[in-house]
Copies of this chain bind each other. A is one copy, B any other.
Amino acid sequence: MAIRYPNGKKYTAPTPDESKKTMKEKNISYSNRGKSLEDYIDETNVYYLHRNIAVIHKKPVPVQIVKVEYPSRSAAVIREAYFRTPSTTDYNGVFNGAYIDFDAKETENKTSFPLKNVHAHQVKHMEGIANQQGISFLIVRFTSLDRYFIVPCVMLLAAWKRMLDGGRKSIPLSDFEEQAIEIHLGLTPRLDYLKAITTLLP
């Protein structure tokens, strides 16, 4: 299925100039302005990988390729392709024998997390992971509050079921404070989510 744009946002490819600027800013001020949750997770996964703590990667953006050109003496160019809806979560990997699988979600909402941020097929996927004794969760960022939570699969499934049964279409912040695991930004790693999920491990 083709979609208009991934994650409801227009795709913006980083230009060389922008990348350089970001690197420079980071070196000088350690500023986090404009950094997305995905940036923090990517940085954290690189840290985990280099320290041999875990091997966790983001999956590539799924695209449906329609037309490819092969100019002589240069790289193949994709000339027509469409974004597809991912059928799984964005991140997975292995941590000390445990299968880790999660997705990153951001909301501007200050009082609750709207469940429309989660797709039905992702919930089904996470349920399948749980049935295989994998560790599955969401990392949710309340952007306006700059607060980060790990939502264990079982908490998400309960909220999802409640919605399907006609209940509320969001998870209130108070539920996060009671049932989710709050994590705080650090320097290295930026977002130590693996430390936070030890209670979820077998």
Contacts and interface: CB of A to CB of B under 8 A. Distances in A.
A95 interface: yes
Contacts of A30: none
B57 A60 contact: no
Interface in A1-27: 2-5, 10-11, 13
Tell me the number of copies of this protein: 2
Contacts of A82: 75-78
A179 interface: no
Interface in A104-137: 125, 128-129, 131-134
Interface of A: 2-5, 10-11, 13, 49, 52, 54-55, 57, 59-68, 70, 75-84, 87-88, 92-99, 101, 125, 128-129, 131-134, 202
